[in-house]
């Protein structure tokens, strides 16, 4: 009787969420793997043709897919570097004893709260028309021209906006790291006559390694999965040159109507993201043991 | 020297937000003024583009939809995830372990991997069972809860394990409380710090989400703010002043939220990321 009571409560507490979770995440995930073995245009009246692993086999021969993968890697590498350099720099600036640090922190973090879609639109105006107008007015048209029309600069524009969005976020994590460094060590280095740069290079940055690991992989994972900013800032253009992975999958499935082929890409996408994240967990855990 | 540094830091941070300035000033300028100088302050503050943008975006309706969806979904995430996480943390058997590991493991799945089959499955439910999952606020809320509960269960689970003493819970049981009252009277109030974090993370995520609602909602009357911004922007890219007025409108609720909950937001974001 007591056992039945406990079981009843167990179900009462967990079952509602489990039903939602299974229907929203688990079943679609399994269905997704199933769909990736078929050739289908998404129209219910049309037949789904089983093709086995053919969709996966075709991936490497698909130049749009390879181009998208390559530009995504390029974007992610650039973004990880800029976001983290600027994030650390911000964190160092706002952990000084100045009185304006709190206001500065709040302002530097703010872009992260505005959704990616809206951020992308604000910057679309700046990179296209505002830049052009400034370029014409000041004559600095080697910098101020419409970045979004040039394939390389359009990618840099994406990196730029992503950095603007994420630097404040990473700053928050680095601040926690910096505040965790014991004052004794800093004071000892001051007494020993170490200058600011020496202290930064020899003490602060090495002690920030745990924060670096977290931020590196967070930016890696966010960068790799970027969608909203991509859609609103460049829309994948000019001529698909900045169509990053997530947008590419969306377009393959819903734009071109290749439901099976697109889903195979989506499954590959999952495998890559999972591999990156699990590596992070592994490294973080290992580091925690060492420390 | 110190004052120079203070001012430099403040101005630097302000400069960082200059895109927001560009957005706001150009929402007041007419076409000619805008093309003469994008950086200048407007000659006069006329709200005509705001009135136009509000109408074209059906802004108040979108705001209402966004508020209803975000608040309801967040409330459900908090209630269901905290209940589930507590039960999983307190019943130390293999079923609970598997369920918990599944919640964590699925956090790895990017949304793009799930979106197409999800829409297919939800349409099937709508068609066969007659439960309207597609193109309804309720269906969207249901899916938001599903996607955001993994992280919430993870945060609650860790918090329960680390900070809630079992002795208090047991004392309540001896006093004749059942599991339900035990949880809501004793446990849930103690979860408050992590509940704040869960609320912040969910509000930001659900409020800004574009892709899921764009796949699920087709009725114009149901559009959330990101959705109506998307359709509005597609139409008005040539009229930048109108577009900027629309974007300014969408940023205002976010800034209000930030002003009220700034401390919690920065703390919550940090905690959500580090764990």
Residue B145 lies in a domain: yes
**pLDDT, tens only, B58-81:** 999 999 999 999 999 999 999 999
Instruction: Tell me if A121 is assigned to some domain.
Output: yes
Residue B248 maps to a domain: yes
Residue B17 in any domain: the answer is no
Q: Which residue has the higher pLDDT, B265 or A161?
A: A161
Question: Does the beta-carbon distance from B210 to A26 stay under 8 Å?
Answer: no
Closest to B155 (Cα-Cα) out of B94, B104, B209? B104
Asked if residue B1 is part of any domain, the answer here is no
Size of interface A-B (CB pairs under 8 A): 242
Tell me the ipTM for this assembly. 0.92
The beta-carbon neighbor of B113 closest among A123, A124, A269 is A269
pLDDT-derived band of residue A88, with 50, 70 and 90 as boundaries? very high
pLDDT per position as a tens digit, A33-66? 999 999 999 888 888 899 989 999 999 899 999 9
Q: Which residues of B touch A121 (CB under 8 A)?
A: 229, 233, 243, 247
Domain of residue B136, CATH code: 1.10.3720.10
Return the CATH number at A82.
1.10.3720.10
pLDDT > 70? residue B237: no
Categorize the per-residue pLDDT at A185 as very low, low, confident or very high, splitting at 50, 70 and 90.
Answer: confident
A258 inside domain = yes
Across residues A6-21, what is the average pLDDT? 93
How confident is the model at residue A180, as a pLDDT?
86
CA-nearest of B93, B210, B80 to B151 is: B80
Chain B nearest-CA distance from A103, in A, is: 7
Mean pLDDT (chain B) is 91
User: Per the structure block, which two tokens stand in for B270?
Assistant: 């940090």
**Is A277 in the B-facing interface, judged by CB distances under 8 Å?**
yes
User: Quick check: A10 and B10 CB within 8 A?
Assistant: no
Distance CA A261, CA A253 (A): 8
| Structural domain contains residue A259 | yes
CA atoms within 13 A on the CB side of B271: 22
Res A279: pLDDT: 86
The number of folded domains in chain A is: 1
Tens-digit pLDDT profile for residues A249-290? 999 999 999 999 999 999 999 999 999 888 877 887 776 655
Specify if B153 maps to a domain.
yes
* Residues B80/B198, Cβ–Cβ less than 8 Å: no
Average pLDDT over residues A186-203: 84
| pLDDT value of position A5 | 56
A228 assigned to some structural domain: yes
Q: Is residue A15 part of a domain?
A: no
In this structure, are residues A202 and A194 in contact, taking their beta carbons and an 8 Å threshold? yes
Range of the domain at A229: 63-290
- The domain of B165 spans 47-274
Which of B10, B116, B238 to mutate to test binding with chain A, by most A CBs within 10 Å of its CB? B116
Give the nearest chain B residue to A30 (CA atoms).
B117
Q: What is the mean pLDDT of residues A115-123?
A: 93
Asked whether the beta carbons of B81 and B198 are under 8 A apart, the reply is yes
> Range with the lowest mean pLDDT among A2-16, A106-120, A231-245, B187-201?
A2-16
Q: What pLDDT is attached to residue B234?
A: 79
Answer yes or no: is pLDDT of B25 > 70: yes
- Which residues of chain B does A218 touch, with a Cβ-Cβ cutoff of 8 Å? 273
Domain for residue B3, yes or no? no
When pLDDT is averaged across residues B29-42 and rounded to a whole number, the result is: 86
What's the number of domains chain B is made of?
A: 1
CA A124 vs. chain centroid, Å, equals 19
Average pLDDT over residues B141-160: 95
Q: Is residue A217 part of a domain?
A: yes
| Residue with token string 């003469």 | B36
Task: Give the closest residue to B204 by CA, choosing from A92, A228, A154.
Answer: A228
- The tens digit of pLDDT for each residue in B193-227 reads 999 999 999 999 999 999 999 999 999 999 999 99
B23 touches A122 (CB < 8 A) = yes
CA quadruple B223, B229, B230, B233: dihedral sign: positive
* Whole-angstrom distance, CA of residue B69 vs CA of residue B137: 7
Beta bridge partners of A38: A50
> Which of B20, B117, B269 comes nearest A35 by C-beta?
B117
User: Greater confidence, B236 or B46?
Assistant: B46
Query: Residues near B103 by Cβ (< 8 Å), separated by ≥ 6?
Result: A21, B149, B150, B153, B154
Residue A2's pLDDT band, with cuts at 50, 70 and 90, is very low
The residue with tokens 């200058």 is A195
pLDDT (0 to 100) of residue B274: 62
Instruction: Give dist(CA B255, CA A273) in Å, integer.
Output: 32
In which element (H, E) is residue B35 found? helix B31-36
Confidence class of residue A1 from pLDDT cuts 50, 70 and 90? very low
Check if the beta carbon of residue A238 is closer than 8 Å to that of residue A148: yes
Closest-CA distance of chain A to residue B236, Å: 11
Q: What is the pLDDT of residues B113-138, one digit of tens each?
A: 999 999 999 999 999 999 999 999 99
Q: Shortest CB distance from A122 goes to which of B114, B210, B247?
A: B247
Q: Which pLDDT does position B73 carry in this prediction?
A: 98
pLDDT tens by residue, B201-210: 999 999 999 9
What 3 state SS string does chain A have? CHHHHHHHHHHHHHHHHHHHHHHHHHHHHHHHHHHCCEECCCCCCCCCEECCCHHHHHHCCCHHHHHHHHHHHHHHHHHHHHHHHHHHHHHHHCCCCCCCHHHHHHHHHHHHHCCHHHHHHHHHHHHHHHHHHHHHHHCCCCCCCCHHHCHHHHHHHHHHHHHHHHHHHHHHHHHHHHHCCCHHHHHHHHHCCCCHHHHHHHHHHHHCHHHHHHHHHHHHHHHHCCCHHHHHHCCCCCCCCCCCHHHHHHHHHHHCCCHHHHHHHHHHHHHHHHHHHHHHHHHHHHHHHHC
Please list every residue in chain A whose beta carbon sits closer than 8 Å to the beta carbon of residue B262: 106
Determine the pLDDT at residue A288: 62
CA–CA separation, B59 and B226 (whole Å): 11
B179 occurs within a structural domain: yes
User: Is A170 within the bounds of a domain?
Assistant: yes
Confidence at residue B62, expressed as pLDDT on a 0 to 100 scale: 96
The pLDDT value recorded for residue B112 is 95
Task: Report the b/e string of A109-144 with b at 16+ CB within 10 A.
Answer: bbbbbbbbbbbbbbbbbbbbbbbbbbbeeeeeeeeb
In a domain, A171, yes or no: yes
On whether residue B236 sits in a domain, the answer given is yes
Taking contacts as CB-CB distances below 8 angstroms, the residues of chain A near B146 are: 20-21, 23-25
Contact A20 B84 (CB under 8 A): no
Preceding omega of A238 cis (within 30 degrees of 0): yes
Contact A214 B273 (CB under 8 A): yes
> Would the CB atoms of A122 and B23 count as touching at under 8 Å?
yes
Please provide the average confidence, as pLDDT, over all residues in chain A. Answer: 90
Tokens of A233: 């800032």
Question: What pLDDT, on the 0 to 100 scale, is given for residue A228?
Answer: 96
Q: What residues 37-96 of chain A have any CB closer than 8 A to a CB of chain B?
A: 42, 93-94, 96
């Amino acid at each position: 009787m007591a056992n039945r009571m406990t079981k009843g409560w167990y179900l009462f507490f967990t079952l509602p969420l489990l039903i939602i979770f299974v229907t929203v995440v688990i079943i679609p995930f399994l269905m997704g793997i199933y769909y990736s073995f078929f050739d289908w245009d998404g129209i219910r009246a049309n037949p789904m043709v089983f093709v086995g692993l053919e969709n996966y086999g075709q991936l490497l021969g698909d130049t749009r897919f390879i181009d998208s993968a390559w530009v995504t890697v390029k974007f992610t590498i650039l973004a990880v570097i800029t976001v983290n350099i600027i994030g650390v720099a911000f964190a160092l600036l706002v952990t000084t004893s100045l009185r304006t640090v709190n206001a500065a922190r709040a302002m530097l973090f703010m872009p992260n709260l505005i959704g990616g879609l809206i951020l992308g639109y604000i910057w679309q105006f700046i990179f296209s028309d505002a830049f052009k107008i400034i370029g014409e007015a000041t004559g600095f048209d080697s910098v101020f021209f419409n970045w979004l029309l040039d394939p390389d600069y359009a990618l840099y524009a994406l990196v730029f906006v992503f950095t603007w969005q994420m630097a404040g976020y990473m700053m928050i994590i680095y601040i926690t790291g910096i505040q965790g460094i014991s004052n004794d060590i800093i004071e000892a280095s001051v007494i020993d006559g170490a200058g600011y740069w020496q202290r930064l290079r020899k003490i602060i940055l090495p002690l920030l390694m745990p924060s670096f690991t977290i931020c590196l992989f967070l930016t890696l994972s966010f960068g790799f999965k970027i969608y909203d900013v991509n859609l609103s800032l460049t829309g994948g253009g000019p001529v698909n040159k900045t169509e990053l992975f997530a947008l590419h999958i969306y377009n393959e499935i819903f734009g071109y109507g290749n439901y099976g082929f697109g889903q195979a890409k989506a499954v590959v996408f999952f495998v890559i993201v999972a591999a990156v994240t699990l590596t992070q967990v592994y490294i973080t855990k290992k580091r925690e043991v060492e420390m | 020297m110190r004052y120079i540094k203070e001012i430099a830091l403040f101005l630097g941070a302000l400069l960082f937000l200059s895109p927001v300035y560009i957005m706001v000033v150009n929402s007041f300028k007419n076409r000619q003024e805008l093309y003469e100088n994008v950086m200048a302050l407007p000659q006069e503050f006329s709200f005509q583009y705001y009135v136009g943008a509000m109408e074209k975006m059906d802004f108040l309706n979108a705001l209402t939809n966004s508020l209803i969806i975000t608040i309801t979904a967040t409330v459900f995430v908090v209630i269901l995830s905290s209940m589930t996480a507590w039960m999983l943390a307190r019943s130390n058997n293999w079923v609970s372990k598997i369920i918990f590991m599944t919640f964590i493991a699925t956090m790895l799945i990017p949304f793009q991997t799930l979106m197409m089959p999800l829409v297919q499955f939800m349409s099937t439910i709508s068609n066969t069972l007659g439960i309207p999952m597609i193109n309804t606020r309720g269906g969207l809320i249901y899916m938001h809860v599903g996607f955001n509960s993994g992280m919430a269960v993870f945060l609650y689970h860790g918090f329960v394990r680390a900070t809630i003493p079992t002795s208090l819970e047991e004392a309540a049981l001896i006093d004749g409380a059942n599991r339900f009252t035990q949880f809501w009277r004793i446990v849930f109030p103690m979860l408050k710090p992590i509940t704040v974090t869960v609320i912040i993370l969910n509000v930001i995520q659900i409020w800004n989400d574009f892709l899921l609602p764009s796949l699920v909602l087709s009725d114009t009357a149901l559009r959330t703010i990101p959705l109506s911004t998307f359709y509005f922007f597609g139409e008005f890219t040539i009229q930048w002043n109108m577009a900027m007025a629309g974007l300014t409108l969408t940023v205002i609720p976010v800034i209000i939220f930030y002003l009220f909950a700034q401390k919690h937001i920065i703390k919550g974001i940090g905690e959500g990321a580090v764990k």
